[in-house]
């Protein structure tokens, strides 16, 4: 039988702690934990804990990437807070001009964004749109339809708003496209819903998934091709107020967290491959009404309801990343 030394040219080395930069395939013995370990490639994605937000918050708008994200608005108390993530830490920027919660947000990164819709109270719902230039907010052209709990994806120059709760209180199917200057109403969604997840780089292609109608938590997924919506394969778990991310098109996305019946926070993560959803590594902290950003392989989850309002942050790394594993035998 071939030995490790014969294959790799060296013996298995002993360490008092794991090496800082092991190579794929390297095997070592950790004297402190008295375990044999190997550096392998992960077969599933996983979430790692990051630095907390400046303040615990929930039910706001969010977008961007894992290294450049923006969170805006939220509650409680009702606020217009803006927080920016640089891949390591959160910092507070200038507040929205109009305080609100349950709003939509489109941003490629935290240097430019639009925030729209939302509510200040159950009877004050907004069409207001504000534009972020990396430093401050400016009011720009309004949505055509006031709404709260609106789904969104895209950038500050090419965004999409979909669904939500309209006045009077009812789920809506409205779709509006942002071109960097104004909103245009387009083809409606196939089913009315609010509090859904969204994923897409711009207003030409993306996904809307999960959410709720007046009675049910939903698993419905709809795919947008720039002109119309098509219903595709459902999520595995029905849920509302979930996180969603994806910066490509309607072939790649991640859904995570959310609220499940009767009103519990979920930690479940699902990945979309263009055809169907598959469960992946769970969040460390179950949460709904959270802030989300990133891509299907590098996502960001922060804040939310767990059921306490939290400030914690988690970063997702997709399958294929280096991973230290303990070797066991029986």
Identify the pLDDT of residue 300: 98
The band of 125, judged by pLDDT with boundaries at 50, 70 and 90, is confident
159 pLDDT higher than 60: yes
Please give the mean pLDDT across all residues of the chain.
Answer: 92
CATH number of 46-317: 2.120.10.80
In 3D, which of 245, 261, 263 has the Cα closest to residue 314? 245
What is the pLDDT, as a whole number, of residue 170? 86
**131 to 72, 111, 300: CA distances (angstroms):** 12, 11, 22
Q: Please give the pLDDT value at position 23.
A: 78
Residue with structure tokens 């534009």? 131
Does the pLDDT value for residue 53 go beyond 90? yes
d(CA 183, CA 135): 23
Query: DSSP code of 305?
Result: B
User: pLDDT band at 51, cuts 50/70/90?
Assistant: very high
Assign 6 to helix, strand or coil.
helix
- pLDDT of 180 reads 98
Q: What is the mean pLDDT of residues 85-112?
A: 98
Domain-wise residue ranges, the chain: 4-41, 46-317
Residue 1 has pLDDT above 50, yes or no: no
**Which comes out higher in pLDDT, residue 66 or 33?**
66
The token duo for 12 is 């298995």
Question: Residue 330: is its pLDDT beyond 60?
Answer: no
Q: Give this prediction's pTM.
A: 0.87
More confident position, 138 or 327: 138
Which residue has tokens 């922060």?
Answer: 302
Please answer whether residues 27 and 38 qualify as being in contact, where contact means their C-beta atoms are separated by less than 8 angstroms. yes
Residue 304 reports pLDDT greater than 50:
yes
Strand residues in 42-144 grouped as ranges (E): 46-50, 61-65, 68-74, 79-85, 90-93, 104-109, 112-116, 119-121, 124-125, 129-132, 137-140
- Angstrom distance (rounded) from CA 81 to CA 153: 20
pLDDT of 173-227, one tens digit each? 999 999 999 999 999 999 999 999 999 999 999 999 999 998 999 999 999 999 9
pLDDT tens, 5-36? 444 545 788 888 888 778 767 888 888 888 88
Q: Residue 40: its pLDDT value, please?
A: 63
Look at residue 327 and tell me whether its pLDDT is greater than 80: no
Q: Where are the alpha helices (DSSP H) in 93-141?
A: none
Segment 104-126 mean pLDDT: 92
């Amino acid at each position: 039988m071939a030995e490790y030394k014969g294959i790799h040219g060296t013996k298995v080395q002993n360490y008092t702690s794991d090496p800082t930069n092991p190579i794929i395939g390297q095997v070592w013995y950790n004297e402190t934990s008295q375990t044999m370990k190997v550096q392998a490639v992960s077969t599933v994605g996983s979430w790692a804990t990051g630095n907390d937000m400046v303040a615990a918050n929930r039910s706001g708008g969010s977008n961007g990437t894992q290294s450049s994200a923006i969170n805006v608005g939220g509650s409680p108390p009702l606020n217009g807070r803006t927080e920016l993530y640089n891949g390591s830490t959160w910092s507070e920027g200038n507040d929205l001009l109009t305080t609100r919660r349950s709003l939509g947000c489109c941003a490629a990164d935290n240097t430019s964004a639009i925030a729209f819709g939302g509510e200040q109270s159950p009877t004050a719902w907004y069409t207001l749109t504000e534009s972020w230039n990396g430093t401050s907010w400016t009011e720009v052209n309004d949505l055509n339809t006031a709404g709260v709990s609106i789904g969104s994806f895209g950038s500050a120059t090419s965004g999409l708003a979909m669904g939500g709760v309209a006045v009077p209180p009812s789920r809506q199917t409205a779709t509006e496209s942002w071109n960097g200057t104004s909103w245009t109403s387009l083809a409606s969604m196939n089913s009315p819903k609010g509090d859904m997840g969204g994923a897409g780089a711009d207003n030409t292609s993306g996904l809307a998934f999960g959410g709720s109608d007046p009675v049910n938590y939903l698993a419905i997924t709809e795919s947008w091709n720039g002109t119309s919506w098509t219903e595709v394969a459902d999520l595995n778990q029905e849920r509302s107020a979930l996180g969603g991310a994806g910066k490509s098109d309607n072939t790649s996305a991640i859904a995570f967290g959310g609220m499940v019946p009767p009103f519990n926070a979920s930690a479940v993560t699902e990945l979309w491959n263009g055809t169907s959803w598959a469960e992946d590594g769970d969040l460390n902290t179950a949460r709904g009404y959270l802030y989300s950003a990133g891509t299907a392989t590098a996502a960001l989850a922060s804040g939310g309801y767990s059921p306490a309002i939290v400030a914690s942050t988690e970063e997702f790394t997709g399958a294929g990343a280096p991973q230290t594993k303990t070797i066991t035998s029986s």
